[in-house]
Structure 1
Amino acid sequence: MLKTVSLLLFVAALAGCQSLVRPSDYDSSLVGFRCMWLAGQKTFEPDNLRYIERFAAYGNTTCMAMLGKLYQEGGHGVDQDFGKARALFVASAKKKPATNVLLGQMAERGEGEPVDYAKARHFYRLSGNNAALALGRLMEKGKGGPQDLPGALALYLGATRYCGDEAWQAMNRLRLAGQPLTEEQMKRYQQIWLTDFLKLQSRRMAVREVFEAVNATGETKNVRLCYRFMSGSGTPQVTMIKGSGDANVDTWIMKAASRITMGEAAPLTGSSGVQEIVAPLVFAPQDTQRMMGMCGRKPCR
């Protein structure tokens, strides 16, 4: 009973007793970022701890979480105390659900209490996409509940921001191991892949030689390229199916296109084993002049 009361008093002192003189920006993202940065410093500085403690007491959710991390790990001017860490995480999570990932980690590791994978799943779900990888891992292994490979794949794909990020790699690992995508998941997969492919194409075409070749003609140039991807490959065969009418322009465009590769991120090819993408491109002198002003004499990367 005494321990429970002391923890409640600890949280109240940090989160409940809001000072009348606290700064107006106490819960700003900038203050939170500073707490994250200070908590990550390898060399302990007493002023850093005091800053984190002060804004945690004001009620900054990120600073509360960072102070909890310090208690969780120990050092940095505080003794390891899982009870205080958990209390801070709970207080932070009330306003910032993403903090639940830290509570999930404590439950999964058994920090301050027995390992509880079911509780870890619960907190990871509350955290949202922030904990998709951690939750998916438990679902893959059947820890804390039934094994659920389709559910894990859906989590990974839903959390993917771009081709090749951790969530994409986890999703693709299951897909290549034989876990099928639903029709909606295939659409999302292709949408993410195509968006990143087009961004990559734009970057690869933004090179000095292409700009100079177009500017030399003084005319807008239209070309049409075909990218042919084979199953499982992110590197296409490139052909020019409609040239610009200027051999120098076409040569430099093809050289730029030959550098395009998505690495291990391959498009879905279906039963044909082939995915072709036809890309119409327009190069206008005014556009290339503007880009030359931005890039100077070096390639824009």
Structure 2
Amino acid sequence: MKLIKNRSLLLALVFSLLGCQRSVINANQTPHVTIPDDVRCILAQSSHNPSDIDILQKNTERGNTRCQVLLGDLYEHGIGVPQDIPHARSLYVLAAQTDVTANFYLGRLAEEGTGAPVDYRMARYYYKKSATGIGKIPSSLKLAPLLENGKGGPVDLQSAMDLYLDVGGSNAGARDGILRLYRLGAELSDSQRVGFFNSWASQSVSLLITQLSEQCHSLLKANPSAIELKPAKIQLKYVPGSLLAQIKLLESSTDKVFDQRLMQATYDYKFPYAPLPEPSGKPVNIITDIDPRSILCIVHL
């Protein structure tokens, strides 16, 4: 667990995310701010001061699961307190009794062999329990490779694929897992294929707009009134084996100079990653409108 050392920045962050309760009786009184116990523990973990460790300990004894996990992390790594793996483990077990996501930490201990021999079977067990909670993504990304590689139990490519799909293609680790398992024979439904394609297409177009925006000055120089042009329609073709896109202008922006500059700015564009391969092995196309306003507006920032 990475610790945030800038307490002022952390305080502002947690207040913005979690909020705080403030009650002001009148203008002559000092505002009273109530800091949630979770926030107190996050701040305490980042400071390593003995008094703050005491805050963690007191909230742990009161049954706050977030504080139990944070204190366990300090004992696991020996930060601000003597390293004590058994005590860290006991705190994780305590937290897991009321918060299934805390099982992630027990799974990590088992997988990494921290304080005990590596035990992939128990790692699977704990990750599976924590993969059902609100913060399930880390556990899903840990459990899927164990299922994929047959560690701690039989190989189960389809269950691993389902976990990667549940995380979503916007996550690089899940995306790579989906592509890898698809090539190994794991199945996707039609709706899952469409969902993955849409995610790939959206990220690809977003990357293209970013690349064009970085060259907006040259595009603007081509036509200072380009924001008044209609969108140009282009085709991005993915050919298996290369991320370099083959780009074709389908509909003009009504300005030939701008069209020419647009094509020059995209000649070296590469897809962020490969899409799912087509059964036929044919190229995969994206057709999108390039609105000059989406490129040139950032010139004025």
- Mark yes or no: TM-score above 0.5: yes
Deviation at 1:172, TM superposition (A): 2.3
Q: Is the 8 A contact 2:197 2:275 kept in 1?
A: no
Aligned to 2:71, which of 51, 67, 74? 67
Q: Alignment partner for residue 26 of structure 1, among 17, 31, 36?
A: 36
Q: In structure 2, what is the Cα distance between the partners aligned to 1:59 and 1:127?
A: 19
Moved more, 259-268 or 135-144: 259-268
Tell me how far apart the structure 2 counterparts of residues 180 and 122 of structure 1 sit (CA, whole Å). Answer: 24
Q: Which residue of 2 aligns with 1:18?
A: none
Contact 1:107–1:119 (CA<8 Å) still a contact in 2?
yes
Cα deviation 1:52-80 (Å, max 9, x = unaligned): 43554455433321211222233532242
Q: What is the SS of the residue equivalent to 2:289?
A: strand
TM-score, scaled relative to structure 2: 0.73
1:256 matches 2:265 = yes
SS at match of 2:225: helix
Q: Does 1:230 align with 2:239?
A: yes
Write the distance in 2 (CA, Å) between the matches of 1:48 and 1:254: 59
Matches within 5 A, 1:147-296: 147-162=155-170, 165-206=172-213, 207-217=216-226, 219-284=228-293, 290-294=297-301
Residues 1:209 and 1:99: Cα distance change in structure 2 (over 3 Å): farther
Alpha-carbon distance in structure 2 between the residues aligned to 1:212 and 1:57: 66
Q: Tell me, which stretches of 5 or more residues in structure 2 are unaligned?
A: 1-32, 132-136
- Between the two structures, name the one with larger relative contact order (CA 8 Å, sep ≥ 6): 1
Identical-pair percentage: 26
Measure the CA separation in 2 of the matches of 1:192 and 1:217: 29
Residue number among 73, 81, 91 corresponding to 1:88 in the alignment = 91
Unpaired runs of 5+ residues, structure 1, are: 1-22, 39-43, 295-301
Task: Determine helix, strand or coil for the equivalent of 1:143.
Answer: coil
Question: Matched residues in 1 for 2:233 and 2:239: separation?
Answer: 20
- Runs (4+) off by over 6 Å: none
SS at match of 1:68: helix
In the TM superposition, residue 134 of structure 1 has moved relative to its aligned partner by 1.8
**Contact 1:35 1:62 survives alignment (8 Å):** no
Does the 8 Å contact 1:211/1:288 carry over to 2?
no
Query: Against the structure 1 CA distance between its residues 61 and 212, is the aligned structure 2 distance closer, same or farther, given a 3 Å change threshold?
Result: farther
Task: Pick closer, same or farther for the CA change 1:256–1:90 going to 2, 3 Å.
Answer: farther
- State the AA in 2 paired with 1:204: Q
Per the normalisation by structure 1, the TM-score is 0.73
Counterpart-to-counterpart distance in 2, 1:279 and 1:92: 49
Amino acid at match of 2:35: D
Aligned partners of 1:106 and 1:203: how far apart in 2?
41
RMSD (Å) for aligned C-alpha atoms: 3.0
Larger mean CA deviation between 237-246 and 262-271 belongs to: 262-271
Counterpart of 1:265 in structure 2: which amino acid? A
Matched, 1:142 2:156: no
1:282: Cα distance to partner?
A: 2.5
Relative to structure 1, the CA distance from residue 222 to residue 183 in structure 2 (aligned partners, 3 Å threshold; closer, same or farther) is closer
String of CA shifts for 1:126-180, please: whole Å, max 9, x gaps.
22232122212221232333211121122123223516x1222233233334544
Contact (CA 8 Å) 2:147, 2:154: kept in 1 or not? yes
Correspondence for 1:53: 57
Instruction: Say if 1:233 and 1:266, in contact at 8 Å, map to a contact too.
Output: no
